[in-house]
Amino acid sequence: MARIVQKFGGTSVGNLDRIRNAARKTAAEVTANHQVAVVVSAMAGETNRLVRLCTDLSRIHDAREYDTVVASGEQVTAGLMAIALQDLGIAARSWLGWQIPVETDDVHAKARILEIQTAELDRRLNNREVAVVTGFQGVSTRQRITTMGRGGSDTSAVALAAALNADRCDIYTDVDGVYTTDPNIVAQARRLNRITYEEMLEMASQGAKVLQTRSVELAMKHRVRLQVLSSFANPVGSDLPGTLVVDEEEVLEQEVVSGIAYSRDEAKVTVIRVADQPGVAAAIFGPLADAAVNVDMIVQNIAEDGSVTDITFTVPRSDLHRTRQVLEQIRNQTPYERLITDANVVKISVIGVGMRSHAGVAKRMFQALAERGINIQVISTSEIKISVLIPEEYTELAVRALHAAYGLDRP
Ligand code: ADP
Ligand code: ASP
Ligand code: MG
């Protein structure tokens, strides 16, 4: 007997037939004598609809009320899933974030889980009842509903698996695993049988939305056995293996580059002709950090006469408005000539733990892009990743070119 957390994403609970299909997958595990907790997302498109209601009503709205609104999608699917399971003769009960409770900090819209109380869930699971838990939502230390950022149900599932000491956390989605790149834009992408936590972490943080970044961090920290599976491809009981996220030692043949990710959620900001002296970077990036703007790539150009310089950096597209506001506010103390912003950019990243021991990875990337006439605007690297910022219209072309250049195309 094992204890399993299953998570069904938006498309996997997108309509009543799909909810029934998901319930049958849960029922199969219960019939096999396993204890199951199910984490559900909102029905496909529902969270986007709820977000739009908030922004249409008021462009800059109270994040606490945003959370109250957007958390509601998961409440509906949790109840529907419990009904679908009961219809199959399975004992099941739904649980909202505050009922468990899933305790989070009070950073609304991107809350982090502090603790999950499991005594009651433990008791119910031991009594053979399926616990259907809302993904994405929790309750803050101030007793308000919080949400964990877009894609946050993955994190709910992994955190629950860790808290419940589950043997497995199965993420059911609309693709049958983690691919070398997004299979929806590169037909030649290959499914990976295994991927290391570290690579998955980079893939997720560089834009591969198949798993939320925080969920991979938690899985790595708590050594949760995490796998990504399709909720559609296979009939119940014959699930193909999907992709297992594992430790580096468990991957036998390591490619130099194992995947390519892209993120359209990028905007580029250039501060033109700011003083080239100590303290200027702190004067710019300090206030941005205080405003919770997450600055990613940064380049500072060297000015010819050494007195002024240009600084270019990237921020999430949704933070561009706030970034402009902050930079305008500091202009008196930190003068600059002007600001240039560009939201039509995309960040493309090649990722692989094999990069640590192989040279020439960057060269191949720059060559492949140059051959297609794609101009690189900003570059950044880590031990196992190289990222470039390019014009957004070249996204597909660049990802396909790199996928081929690193020999990742399906034979
Ligand atoms: P869910 O609603 O189940 O959480 P998501 O839409 O959040 O599903 O994530 C699944 C999607 O992630 C896939 O449909 C695919 O387009 C996208 N994706 C991006 N990169 C990858 C990758 N490397 N492997 C698999 N899927 C990827
Ligand atoms: N429903 C939320 C979203 O769309 C959470 C999730 O699906 O993981 O972002
Ligand atoms: Mg998702």
Shared-domain flag, residues 221 and 339: no
Shared-domain flag, residues 221 and 289: no
Ligand 1 center to residue 124 CA distance, Å? 32
Query: 262: Cβ below 6 Å to ligand 1?
Result: no
The CATH code of the domain that includes 316 is 3.30.2130.10
Shared-domain flag, residues 42 and 142: yes
Ligand 2 center to residue 411 CA distance, Å? 34
Residue bearing tokens 């600084």: 311
Shared-domain flag, residues 195 and 335: no
Q: What is the pLDDT of residue 305?
A: 73
Q: Are 27 and 177 in contact (CB under 8 A)?
A: no
**pLDDT tens-place string over residues 315-334:** 999 899 999 999 999 999 99
DSSP H/E element including 311 = strand 308-315
Torsion sign across C-alpha atoms 380, 344, 318, 226: negative
Ligand 3 center to residue 24 CA distance, Å? 21
- Residues with Cβ within 8 Å of 83's Cβ and at least 6 positions away in sequence, in order, are none
Residue bearing tokens 């060559």: 367
Average pLDDT over residues 104-119: 96
Average pLDDT over residues 356-364: 90
The DSSP bridge partners found for residue 312 are 270, 299
Q: What is the pLDDT of residue 359?
A: 85
46-58 core/surface letters (b: 16 or more CB in 10 A; e: else): bbeebbeebeeee
Specify the amino acid at residue 343.
A
In this predicted structure, the answer to whether residue 239 has a pLDDT above a threshold of 70 is no
Cis peptide before 101 (omega within 30 of 0): yes
| pLDDT cut 90: percent of the chain above it | 88
In this predicted structure, the answer to whether residue 234 has a pLDDT above a threshold of 70 is no
Average pLDDT over residues 272-295: 92
DSSP, collapsed to helix, strand or coil, labels residue 323 as helix
Shared-domain flag, residues 259 and 352: yes
Give start and end residues of each alpha helix (H) in 210-354: 213-222, 280-290, 320-329
Shared-domain flag, residues 242 and 347: no
Q: What is the pLDDT of residue 19?
A: 98
Average pLDDT over residues 217-232: 95
**pLDDT tens-place string over residues 149-194:** 999 999 999 999 999 999 999 999 999 999 999 999 999 999 999 9
Query: 242: Cβ below 6 Å to ligand 1?
Result: no
Shared-domain flag, residues 384 and 305: yes
The ligand 1 atom nearest the CA atom of 178: 24
The CATH code of the domain that includes 8 is 3.40.1160.10
- 300 confidence band (pLDDT: 50, 70, 90): confident
Shared-domain flag, residues 315 and 198: no
Shared-domain flag, residues 225 and 268: no
340 burial level (CB within 10 Å; 0-12, 13-18, 19+): exposed
With CA atoms as reference, report the closest residue to 53 among 38, 70, 39.
70
- 256 confidence band (pLDDT: 50, 70, 90): confident
Shared-domain flag, residues 308 and 245: no
Residue bearing tokens 């056995």: 225
Last residue of a domain, one of 232, 250, 268: 250
Last residue of a domain, one of 194, 227, 250: 250
Q: How many C-beta atoms surround the C-beta of residue 372 within 10 A? A: 13
**pLDDT tens-place string over residues 15-44:** 999 999 999 999 999 999 999 999 999 999
Number of domains the chain contains: 2
364 burial level (CB within 10 Å; 0-12, 13-18, 19+): middle
Shared-domain flag, residues 278 and 246: no
pTM for this entry = 0.93
Tokens of 174: 């609309």
Q: Hey, whose CA ends up nearest to atom 5 of ligand 1?
A: 210
Q: What is the pLDDT of residue 237?
A: 53
Average pLDDT over residues 224-251: 82
Average pLDDT over residues 129-143: 98
Shared-domain flag, residues 193 and 228: yes
Find the Cα–Cα–Cα–Cα dihedral 288, 289, 293, 295, rounded to 10°: 90
Last residue of a domain, one of 205, 220, 250: 250
Q: What is the pLDDT of residue 356?
A: 87
Structural domain of 70: 3-250
Spatial distance between the Cα atoms of 258 and 199, rounded to a whole number of angstroms: 8
